[in-house]
Every structure is written in C-alpha cells, then in structure tokens.
A and B are shown apart, each in its own frame.
Chain A
Amino acid sequence: MNSFKKNLLKKRYNAERRFQWYGKIAIGLALSFLAVFMFQIFSKGYSAFQKTWIVTEVHYDKELLLIDAESPSKDDLENADYYDVAYKAMTSLDPGLPEEEDRQLIQMVSYKYEAEVKDLLLKNPDYLGKIVPIKLTASDDVDQVHKGNYPRDIPEEDRRVNDYQLQIYDMLNERGDILSEFNISFFTSPDSREAELAGIASSFMGTVFSILVCLAFSFPVAVLAAIYLEEFAPKNKFTDFIEVNINNLAAVPSIVFGLLGLGVLLAVFNLPRSTPLVGGITLSLMTLPTIIIAARASLKAVPPSIREAALAMGASNMQTTMHHTVPLSMPGTLSGTIIGLAQALGETAPLILIGMVAFVNTIPGTPVDPAASLPVQIYIWSESAERGFVEKVSACIMVLLAFLILMNLAAQIVRHKFEKKWS
C-alpha cells in the first residue's frame, strides 16, 4: 500500500472518529441540558419546603382582648379584639423601641399574624389570661434571610431587610427563636399575594378537577371513535376525511384550543368562566386525538387470529369486538390515555385564555368553582418579582414534575404488566 493510499485511509478513519464524536457530543449536550435544568429547579426550589417561624410570647390579657364575661364562651373568644394582644406580642421582642418605629418589627412577620394569635387561643381556650409562647409565620423577607438567599453585606438601602431587622433576627436566631420546619401550609393553603403564605392547594385541586373532567369527556368518545375507525368503518372518502382530520388535530397548537374554548364554551354555551369544568373540556378536545391514535394503534396490534377465532365460534362482529378485541387492546389504550392526560396536565396557554389565571384564594370544592391549575400557578407566580415566589415557583414545578413522572410510570406499568405479547 503506498503512502498516498495510507494517508487517504487515515483521513477517512479520522473523519469516521470525528463523526462519531459529533454524535456523542450532541447526545451529551441534550442530556446536560436536562441535567442543568433539573439542577436549577431543585437548587432553587428545595428551600420552599421549609417554613420559617418566629417564636415569641403572647399574653392573652382579658382586658386587651375586651372580654368582660367571667367564663367566656366560644363566641366571646371569636369576637374578641386581638389587635393589641398580637401587637404587644411582636413589640415585646424589643421593648425599648419607640412607638413610631414599631412597623419595622411588625413587618418581620406575615400580615396575618393577628389571625395566628387568634387561632392559638381558639384552639386552647385555657390560655386566656396566661403568657404562652407562640409561633408566628415569618415574613417573606425574614424567611429569605434565614434561608441565606439574601446577601447581607450589601448597603442597607439595597436590601429589603434593614439593619435593625437584621439585628433583631440575629438576636432571635441566637436564642433559638427562629424555627425552620417542614412547610405543610405550602400544600394546604390557597394562593396568596404574600409569598410566605402562598400555597398550591387551590391550583392543585383545580388541576385534579380539570384532569378528571378531561378524562370523563375524552376517554369514552376517543375509545368509541377508535373502535369505529379501526373495526367498523368502511373504506371510503368520508372515513379517510375523518382520519386526516384526527391526524391534523393532533398537531394544532394548544392555544388554538384555548381560543375554541373561549369562543364556543364561554361565549356561546355560557359555561362559567375560570372553572375547571371549562378547562377540562378544553383540554379534553386537545387530548381526544392523542387517545384516538393510541387506541387505534393498540387495536391494530391485536392479531387477526383472535377475531377469526371469535367469528368462527359464531360471534357477531360487534360481539367479537366488544368481548375480545377491545379488552385485549385496553392496556395500550389506557397507557396512551395516561400519556395524553399527562400532556394535558402541563398545558398552560389554553387555560389562561379561558380565564383560569384569576387570583383564587379559596380552595375549590367542585369543578364549577373558579380555580387555577398547577402550570398556570407557575405562570402567575413567575410574574411576581419577590425572591420568595421564585422559590415557590421552583417548588411548584417540582410538584408538577413529580406528578408527570408518576403518570408516565403508571403508563409504563400498565403497558408492561398487562399488555399481552403476541408472537
């Protein structure tokens, strides 16, 4: 072999190796995007699962509560005036503070601290007249300081927490009066304008309701349609048209379905705005083609021998389909349905259009109550500037992703566990 050929061969082999490396780099890039992404979300979001409390002492003074009765009833406690008691509980942290500066202390706890003072007494009526320790929700800013998300060494005017508040915080922290506990209220409370109080309960219920409505509307129609198209439809222009239609529908951008929901469900049928009912129906229109396609594929996968055997035993076409083909195709259909629902779960734009972005601070009990949904909640919170909401958004994303992972796992399990392998 002469040197020219040798060189050529070497060149070609180098090109081969280079090409392989391009492929590896591409895959590496794709995977590292995913890794960076996950890392970002987790590193920003995990702290949202911790809630910061400030511990102080509260004196349930009958006089300040304006309770006259000797042994007050529940109603008396309910209607008492907690403003002064709560105010004193906070200002007692630094008795030397002049009165006109007291806002600085009050701002260290959430604005609902009065309600927290009230709740403690309502739960323990025997505290009346006593001095008891109480946990108050720290304000968003103190919360962020405690989690180390705010730099402390920048000039005071650039900080959201001033020097005096930091001093109080340090004092409390040294005494062990700043508590950090698992943030249950993130899961149990509805949305709020205050980051420290905001939770995902309302949007979570909204999501659950919309997905259920979506399932109830899309699954039966999609499965029946798939059965017709796969088992009964004659081959003609019209069924071809339906098929093309379904394939194209699967590629229509989701926001167009939002416009459909707005223009038809809200404007023509006058269904209630901002509710999971409308959201669910809109999503079901979107999921319909996905489920039809999955159901058809799994009907197609049932071998013809099953049908032939049933027909040979004297079953009618309908009986063959309903007793044999459809049950055998169910695992594939179900896993396709779950995947379709998982897609619907992450949809945001159509829900925004039908008004599910409204600020909802109650937990919806039925599908016709106004609600948000988890992805929309992410959008709403990400529009807020406070650092506290950044962490909430990330935590909300984690909940959403966990949900999606669970659904996809369920789809996998259904498929692998129950699907019959032919051949």
Chain B
Amino acid sequence: MNLILVTFIILLAFTSYYFGRKKALVIQSSQRLTALPKFYGYYLAAWCAAPALIIFALWSVFEPSIVKTFILQDYTDQNLTKNELQLIYTKVKALAAGTYTGNITNFLDESANKYIQLKGIANSAKVAIILAILIFSLSFAYRSVQKNDRMREPVEIFLKWVLFVASLGAVLVTIGIVFSLLFEAIRFFQAVKIFDFIFGTHWYPAKTFVRDGQPDPELMKDAFGAVPLFAGTFFIAFIAMCVAIPIGLLSGIYLSEYAGRGIRKYAKPIIEILAGIPTVVYGFFAALTVGPFVKEIGNAMGLEVSAESALAAGAVMGVMIIPFISSLSDDVMTAVPQNLRDGSYAMGATKSETVKKVIFPAALPGIVGSILLAVSRAVGETMIVVMASGLAANLTMNPLESTSTITAQIVVILIGDQQFGDPKTQSAFALGISLFIVTLLLNVIALSVVKKYREKYE
C-alpha cells in the first residue's frame, strides 16, 4: 500500500515535470519566459512531490503511536504498568495479524478488531489526505506557472533546502546515537546505581539472569562493576601502543626524512594496507596464530600463559594501528617548514640530530594528536578482543592472562536474542555510552591539538 502510494507520487512528479516544461513552451509563444523551460518542470515536480512526501513521512512516523494510544485507552482503568500495557499491545497486534498463539480473551479479541478497524480508517485517511494535498499543491503550482511567475528562484531555494536537510543528516545520526544510548542507559541506572557501575570491581552480568520476575537487587549491585572492563580496555590499548608507537613513529620518521622518493612511494601505501585489513581478520590471526605462539614461548620460559592472553590481542592490535601513527606522523613531519631543517644543517647538525632536536619537537603536537587518535582507535576496537582475548572480565595487570574490554562485553551481551527491558541488555548501552564519551574526548583533544599545530605553520 505504502509502496504504491510513494510510487504514485513519484510518477506524478515525473509527469508534472514534462507537463510543466511543455506548458513553458506554450507560454513562450505569447510571453517572454522567466526561466529556462525545464525550471517550469522542476517547479511543478517539486510542488507535487515534496509536500505529499513530507506529509506521508510524518504520517508514517506518528500513526503507530496514535493507534496505540487509542487501543490502550480501553485499558486505562485496569491499573497496569507500562510494561504490561506494552505486552498487551504486542498481543493485540499479533492477534490482528493472525499470528497470535496464546489464549484469546474476549477483551483482546475486541481490541484486535478495533485495531484492524483503526488501521483501516488510518489507511484510507492517509490516502485521502495525500491525494487532497497533491491536488491542492499541484493546482497552486500550476496557477503560478500559468501566471508565468519567476520560476528559477523558487526551484533553487527549494534545492538549497534539500541540501541543507541532507547536511542535517550527520547531526541526526549523532542525535540518534546519543539518545538511543542515553535512553537505555538511564533505564539501566535506575536499576543499578551509577556509583556501583563506575567503581564496582566485579563484572559478571550473567549472574543476574532470572527467568521470571525481577533479579535480586543485592546481586545486581555486585554484577555490574565496570572497573575491570575500563582497566582491561586501557590495558590492551596500552599494549597495542607499546607495539605501535615505536614502530609507527620510527617508520614515519624514516619515510619523511630519509627515504627516497621511490621507497616512499611504495612503502607508504604498503604499510597502509595494514590499516585496510578488516579487524575480524586480525582477530582470527591473533586467535589462531599469535595466541598459541605467545603461549608456547611463555611455556618454554616456564610462565603460566593463557591461550587467550591480553598480550596476543594487544600486540596484534598494535600491528593494526601502526599505519595510523606512521602515516599521520609522516604527514606532520613533512609539513614542518624546510627552513627549520636548513637552519639546523647550517649549524652543522647531522640529519638524526636535526630530526631529534628540531623536527620532532616542532612536529610534536601533531604527533601527539595522531597518537591520541590511534588510542581512540584501540579503545573502540572490538573483534580482535572478542576473538583473541577471552570474554571473562578479570581485573588483572598481567599481560599473560586473559582480560576483557568494554567493546568485547557489549558483543558478548548482545550476541543472539536480546530482551529489551532486561538490565543485562541495558548494561550494554551503558557501556556503549561510556565508550562513546571516552572516544569523543580523545578525539576532541586530538583534533584541537592538531588544529593548533596547523595554525602555527600556516
């Protein structure tokens, strides 16, 4: 139904485009046109499609909730909680669709009939309203075409609005992220104290699983302490940076200061391949090759090593991050003005002394920025940890044991079927919002540092 309506609107818009253009040619025989003929077409088409589609979209968004309030009106005198009402509404919908399998009470049956009726009314009302709007807006537009009003300006203003709305898309995504995370996280913090979440040292959400009714609040207190996850996240990120910073920075320096054009041209893109490999592939590599390898070496040295160690995950993550640091630091060091180098050489400094004492300090803000970006990458990395570093949240500083991270726990909690309204599911959103805040902070700091640095040399 909806599809037919939208297709109809779009087809009508196309026809009105051709119609408008033709009309313009007719007008041309008697008066001077105010714009190219195709603008007459665009004008009609825009007036045809835009109002109808906007109303259609609004209708589709609001219709379900309005129907829901109508249905649930019958239940207001029964003192039901929000969740129970939701359940009833789901049942009514299922019954109306003919997929309900529970026992059917009279009341439910009545509601289902009412639902079907309301849906029918809503559908025909929608078609009627949209047709009315189409007729109204098209006749309005046609009148101004007939009057030979200015055509190009309105069309361009309309296009500009379309562009503007598109640019709001990115903002909308951010708002969507913040709200979807906040909404669930707030409900989580109603069940679990925010203090217990941030400072608790015991993460074991599976404990709160109860088949019916509410989990024991005492258990909840001890099950959602996120400190092991925060610690694990930064610990693995730290291991990754221990691998990535020396290798990345030294390759960046070599590429920008020493390498000839030929080497630079080939080595840089090849190193960047490392960043293009999907993380799930790294995860597989870490779990299958690096993990056992680390374990073997550890055992040979007489150490107790878990097959899923933080070290394996961190090291592989470090390899993945090398190009972020090497490419960015290469860029910032290449951007250091040549006269600084020349000055240093003129004083008799060798190349490495110039790099260490002049170029590196000058490029430091940019390099710090790139490292911060890399850290934010490492903190948000999911698949490597899920696959290579175990899923038990141990609070440990031993790189040879397995630990878990925020991202890995989100995956563990949400894999498979989720039940909304369960504190376990909501805890994933609470973790998500803390992850979002951490990466956002890192990113804002990194970008402002880089920006300041750029201003210095431009």
Q: Which of A23-31, A47-55, A172-180 contacts B (4 or more CB under 8 A)?
A: A23-31
Q: Which of A90-98, A109-117, A397-405, A414-422 contacts B (4 or more CB under 8 A)?
A: A397-405
Cα separation A254 to B258 with both chains bound (whole Å):
36
Partner of A263, one of B184, B254, B323: B184
Contact call A262/B270, Cβ cutoff below 8 A:
no
Q: Which residues of chain B in 238-288 are interfacial with respect to chain A, using CB atoms and an 8 Å cutoff? A: 246-251, 253-255, 258, 267, 270-271, 273-274, 276-281, 283-285, 287-288
Partner of A34, one of B160, B274, B410, B432: B274
Contact call B166/A224, Cβ cutoff below 8 A:
yes
Task: Judge if B355 is at the interface, Cβ distance under 8 Å.
Answer: yes
Using Cβ atoms and an 8 Å threshold, which residues of chain B touch A13? 350
Contact call A382/B387, Cβ cutoff below 8 A:
yes
Cα separation A119 to B371 with both chains bound (whole Å):
59
Contact call B439/A251, Cβ cutoff below 8 A:
yes
Task: Judge if B152 is at the interface, Cβ distance under 8 Å.
Answer: yes
Using Cβ atoms and an 8 Å threshold, which residues of chain B touch A343? 276
Chain A 20-40, CB within 8 Å of chain B: the 1/0 string?
A: 101111110111011001001
Using Cβ atoms and an 8 Å threshold, which residues of chain B touch A228? 160, 163-164, 166-167
Cα separation A401 to B35 with both chains bound (whole Å):
52
Contact call B278/A404, Cβ cutoff below 8 A:
yes
Q: Which residues of chain B in 158-179 are interfacial with respect to chain A, using CB atoms and an 8 Å cutoff? A: 159-160, 162-164, 166-171, 173-174, 176-177
Contact call A256/B177, Cβ cutoff below 8 A:
yes
Contact call B352/A19, Cβ cutoff below 8 A:
yes
Using Cβ atoms and an 8 Å threshold, which residues of chain A touch B386? 349, 379
Using Cβ atoms and an 8 Å threshold, which residues of chain A touch B156? 316-318
Partner of A401, one of B180, B277, B417: B277
Name the CB-closest residue of A to B177: A260
Contact call A34/B273, Cβ cutoff below 8 A:
yes
Min CB distance A180 to B, Å, is 24
How many residue pairs between the two chains, A and B, have CB atoms under 8 Å in the bound complex?
246
Name the CB-closest residue of A to B440: A248
Cα separation A409 to B111 with both chains bound (whole Å):
59
Task: Judge if B379 is at the interface, Cβ distance under 8 Å.
Answer: yes
Q: Which of A79-87, A194-202, A285-293, A303-311 contacts B (4 or more CB under 8 A)?
A: A285-293
Interface residues on B, range: 35 or more
CB-based closest 9 A-B pairs: A253-B380, A23-B254, A346-B278, A263-B180, A224-B166, A26-B250, A228-B163, A19-B352, A225-B167
A-contacting residues of B (Cβ < 8 Å)? 152, 156, 159-160, 162-164, 166-171, 173-174, 176-177, 180-181, 183-184, 246-251, 253-255, 258, 267, 270-271, 273-274, 276-281, 283-285, 287-289, 319, 322-323, 326, 350-353, 355-356, 373, 376, 379-383, 386-387, 407, 410-411, 414-418, 420, 428-429, 432, 435-436, 439-440, 443-444, 447
Q: Kindly list 11 other residue pairs between chains A and B, CB separation below 8 angstroms, not including A26-B248, A255-B411, A382-B288.
A: A27-B255, A222-B169, A251-B439, A251-B440, A252-B439, A256-B436, A288-B169, A288-B173, A401-B277, A404-B277, A408-B276
B-contacting residues of A (Cβ < 8 Å)? 12-13, 15-16, 18-20, 22-27, 29-31, 33-34, 37, 40-41, 44, 220-222, 224-225, 227-229, 232-233, 241-242, 245-249, 251-260, 262-264, 267, 285, 288-289, 292, 316-318, 342-343, 345-349, 352-353, 355, 357, 375-376, 378-379, 382, 390, 393, 397, 400-401, 404, 408
6 contacts between A and B (CB under 8 A): A26-B250, A253-B379, A254-B382, A262-B418, A376-B280, A379-B283
